[in-house]
Amino acid sequence: MRTLHHWPLDPWSRQARIALAEKQLAFELRFERPWDAPEDLLALNPAGLTPVLVDETPQGRVVAVEARAILEYLEELKPEPSLLPGGPAERAEARRLCHWFDRKFDAEVNAYLLFEKLEKRLQGLGAPDMEAIRAGRDYLRWHLDYVTGLLDQRDGLAGPRYSLADIAASAHLSCIDYLGDVPWDEFPAAKAWYERIKCRPSFRAILEDRLPGMAPARWYADLDF
Amino acid sequence: MRTLHHWPLDPWSRQARIALAEKQLAFELRFERPWDAPEDLLALNPAGLTPVLVDETPQGRVVAVEARAILEYLEELKPEPSLLPGGPAERAEARRLCHWFDRKFDAEVNAYLLFEKLEKRLQGLGAPDMEAIRAGRDYLRWHLDYVTGLLDQRDGLAGPRYSLADIAASAHLSCIDYLGDVPWDEFPAAKAWYERIKCRPSFRAILEDRLPGMAPARWYADLDF
């Protein structure tokens, strides 16, 4: 049995869910609220964060913690379909973009928009700071511009093959899109890329996520938005 | 030719240097001051951060950006000696610990001690905040306690084989040790582990690093400290 401990609007949990679906590996989801420091989660990951994948295999139990380790584990467990490009330069580029979204996009966009609009509310940390939201939206435009530049240079985000880079980028952007903050119409190349991602079967469960009392943007689940 | 763009007291640059030395791969070092946003670095990594490895191979140029991508690239380029344990559970555990140091130790220790004592000075950002330094030292003790717990459960940090986890942990801790802030004598198991790391030939260059005008702690380079 394979269980993914996740929180639906956590961009790293989403990366693990998408990769499991791309690999067509069966798994169960276990919903966690990391900010409540649940004991089952802390026992698996002392850092107290999602995602954690627990895989009970015939050879023993594997506990893979955080998106990068989970995705590398899945790639080794089931190499096909590969989520890494074939050549070393392209593989390095895909991993660079994962890091870009996991660190830079996280610090410049999630830390403002996800934190102010979602995490503060769920954790009872007070009203959102509108200045911070404006800063996050400015950074988001800059990131969409960067994505546009990549798509302009090449066929696909990190190259023609769907890869870890597409998973990382779409997982982060989809959380912001849930909040309704992505100005897709100003960035048609990024929008066309995200439309292709949304049509993949691996993305279906992501588009079905709903937080109680907090509806997504009306176009969130539309394949043609 | 293989060139690593680095900054000596950057824990991620150190991870790349140690891994290259462990793999016995020849490389040249190129010193960067990332906070000056040098053009050569920005052209290779638009995020403007070290480390960046540029490998001119007969099959073409590979640009690997940031420690995790560089170390995965080196593992694929030269699988032996492997820097990952053999089994999937142990590999996941080694990668978990990389993430632990790269994110949690970074946010709780580097963000206070490296930033206040080193980065502020180099970048002319004013005097260190003593409250922040005290907070960083408290967190550091907590991390050394965590490392002690790991070493108590098993033979080695992520298991008996030297791995990515040892590289990540020693790269981060060695930067703090340069500043003289690691209370080694209070944590004998962690100290014994670090003594073994210091004796490895791959660590020699790390112990030779000297920042102009800023001498390391007097025990920094001692193998028997």
Q: Report CA Rg, chain B.
A: 17
Handedness of CA B187, B189, B195, B201 (dihedral sign): negative
Residue of B nearest to A93 (CA): B64
Peptide bond into B8 cis (omega under 30): no
Assess if residue A157 is contained within a domain: yes
Q: Shortest CB distance from B69 goes to which of A61, A96, A104?
A: A96
Give B-chain residues touching A64 at CB under 8 angstroms. 92, 95-96
CATH number, domain of B174, equals 1.20.1050.10
From the list A123, A113, A82, the residue with the least C-alpha distance to A175 is: A113
B98 to chain A: which residues are within 8 Å by CB? 69
Query: Domain range holding B59?
Result: 2-77
Query: Are the beta carbons of B99 and A69 separated by less than 8 Å?
Result: yes
Question: Is A100 close to B76, i.e. CB distance below 8 A?
Answer: no
**Mean pLDDT on B98-107:** 96
pLDDT for res A109: 98
Give backbone dihedrals phi and psi of A2, rounded to 5 degrees, phi first. Answer: -125, 125
Residue A220: inside a domain: no
> Scanning every residue of chain A, which has its alpha carbon at the shortest distance from the alpha carbon of B74?
A88
Q: Quick count: other Cβ atoms within 10 Å of Cβ A78?
A: 16
Of residues B219 and A86, the one with the higher pLDDT is: B219
Query: What distance, in Å, lies between the first and last C-alpha atoms of chain A?
Result: 37
The pLDDT value given to residue A155: 85
> What is the least distance, in Å, from the CA of B199 to any CA of chain A?
29
A62-83 pLDDT tens trace:
999 999 999 999 999 999 999 9
Q: Is residue B213 part of a domain?
A: no
Question: A105 to chain B: nearest residue by CA?
Answer: B47
pLDDT of residue A132: 97
Residue type, B142: W
DSSP symbol at A221: T
Residue of A nearest to B89 (CA): A62
Which residue among A39, A57, A77 closes a domain? A77
Please, are residues B33 and B49 in contact by the beta-carbon 8 Å criterion? no
In a domain, A93, yes or no: yes
Q: Domain for residue B216, yes or no?
A: no
Q: Where are the alpha helices (DSSP H) in B51-129?
A: 67-77, 88-99, 113-114, 120-122
Do B72 and B114 lie in one domain? The reply is no
| One domain, residues B202 and B143 | yes
Are residue A70 and residue A174 in the same domain, yes or no?
no
Percent of chain A with pLDDT over 90: 96
| Neighbour tally for A74: CB within 10 Å | 20
Residue A198 and residue A130 in one domain: yes
CA–CA distance, A150 with A157 (Å, rounded to integer): 6
From the list A62, A63, A95, the residue facing B68 with the nearest CB is A95
**Is residue A145 one of the residues assigned to a domain?**
yes
The closest alpha carbon to B178, from B9, B32, B7, B6, belongs to: B9
Answer yes or no: do A99 and B66 touch at CB < 8 A. Answer: yes
- ipTM of predicted complex: 0.93
Do B44 and B103 lie in one domain? The reply is no
By C-alpha distance, the chain B residue nearest A90 is B62
Counted domains in chain B: 2
Is A126 inside any structural domain?
A: yes
Predicted local confidence at residue B224, as pLDDT: 87
Whether residue A109 is contained in a domain is answered as yes
Cα–Cα distances in angstroms (integers) from residue A221 to residues A17, B31, B121, in the given order:
17, 47, 49
Decide which of A48, A77, A106 is a domain's last residue.
A77
Question: What per-residue confidence (pLDDT) applies to B121?
Answer: 92
Tokens in use for B17?
């240097």
Task: CATH number of the domain at B45, please.
Answer: 3.40.30.10
Q: Which pLDDT score, from 0 to 100, does residue A180 have?
A: 97
Q: Is the pLDDT of residue B225 over 90?
A: no
For the stretch B115-128, pLDDT in tens is 999 999 999 999 99
Q: Which residues of A touch B66 (CB under 8 A)?
A: 95-96, 99
**Mean pLDDT, residues B209-220:** 95
Task: Mark whether B163 and B204 lie in a shared domain.
Answer: yes
Rounded CA separation B45/B211 (Å): 24
B114 and B204 within one domain: yes
Do B179 and B98 lie in a common domain? yes
Q: Would the pLDDT of A40 be above 90?
A: yes
Q: For position A224, what pLDDT does the model report?
A: 87
- Residue A146: list chain B partners with CB under 8 A: 46
Mean pLDDT of chain B: 96
Tell me, yes or no, whether A117 and A196 share the same domain: yes
pLDDT at B81: 96
pLDDT for A91-100, tens place per residue?
Answer: 999 999 999 9
Q: What is the pLDDT of residues A110-149, one digit of tens each?
A: 999 999 999 999 999 999 999 999 999 999 999 999 999 9
Closest CB from B65, B76, B87 relative to A96: B65
Q: Give the relative orientation of helices B67-77 and B11-22 as an angle to the nearest 10 degrees.
A: 10
Mean local confidence (pLDDT), A166-195: 98
Reported as a pLDDT band with limits 50, 70 and 90, residue B39 is very high
Mean pLDDT of chain A: 96
Percent of chain B with pLDDT over 70: 100
Round to whole Å and give the CA distance between A157 and B122: 36
Do A119 and A202 share a domain, yes or no?
yes
Edge-to-edge strands, sheet with A52-57: A28-31, A2-6, A52-57, A60-65
Res. B155: pLDDT tops 90: no
pLDDT at B129 over 90: yes
B127 and B68 share one domain: no
**pLDDT at position A225:** 85
- Whether B7 has a pLDDT exceeding 90, the answer reads yes
Q: Are A47 and B100 in contact (CB < 8 Å)?
A: yes
Which of A77, A101, A123 finishes a domain? A77
Query: In chain A, which residues have their Cβ closer than 8 Å to the Cβ of B61?
Result: 89
Residues B139 and B194 in one domain: yes
**What percentage of chain B reaches a pLDDT higher than 90?**
96
